[in-house]
């Protein structure tokens, strides 16, 4: 099965910072990559799909980039509500698979 590896697994930052989370696929997945945000006790929320298309209603400080095997999620000017866990997901091939998550914490 296709494996997704995120880095770092955890990250400390301050409000107003710019952060980048990386996701690497074990094979070329073109641009079939999505990003989700999950807060404790809540379902994940779709942020970005097709590697760089921001879902409707998601703040413009979130952006995605990359193709093939290497992808990034960037959050500009961190807000307090952005501290959460972030997951990438590939949908290039079955079974769909997720990265292990990156926990973004307040410094």
Give the separation between CA 95 and CA 107, rounded to whole angstroms.
Answer: 36
- Using CB under 8 A as the binding rule, whether residue 97 contacts other proteins is answered as yes
- Using CB under 8 A as the binding rule, whether residue 44 contacts other proteins is answered as yes
- Using CB under 8 A as the binding rule, whether residue 95 contacts other proteins is answered as yes
Q: How far is the CB of 78 from other proteins (least distance, A)?
A: 23
DSSP string, 9-74: SEEEE-TT--EEEEEEESS--TT-EEEEEE-TTS--EEEEETTTEEPTTS-TTEEEEEETTEEEEE
Max CA distance (Å), the chain? 38
Q: Which residue, 17 or 65, is less far from other proteins as judged by CB?
A: 65
Binding window for other proteins (CB under 8 A); candidates: 21-29, 59-67, 73-81, 97-105:
97-105
What is the binding site for other proteins (CB under 8 A)?
1, 32, 34, 36, 42-46, 49-50, 55, 87, 89, 91, 94-101
């Amino acid at each position: 099965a296709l494996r997704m590896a995120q880095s770092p697994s955890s990250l400390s930052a301050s409000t107003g910072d710019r952060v980048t989370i990386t996701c690497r696929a074990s094979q070329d997945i073109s641009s079939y990559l999505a990003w989700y945000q999950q807060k404790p006790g809540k379902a994940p929320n779709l942020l970005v799909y097709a590697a760089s298309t921001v879902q409707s209603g998601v703040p413009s400080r979130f952006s995605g980039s990359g193709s093939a095997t290497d992808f990034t999620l960037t959050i500009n000017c961190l807000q307090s509500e952005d501290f959460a866990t972030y997951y990438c997901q590939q949908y290039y091939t079955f079974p769909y698979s997720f990265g292990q998550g990156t926990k973004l914490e307040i410094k």
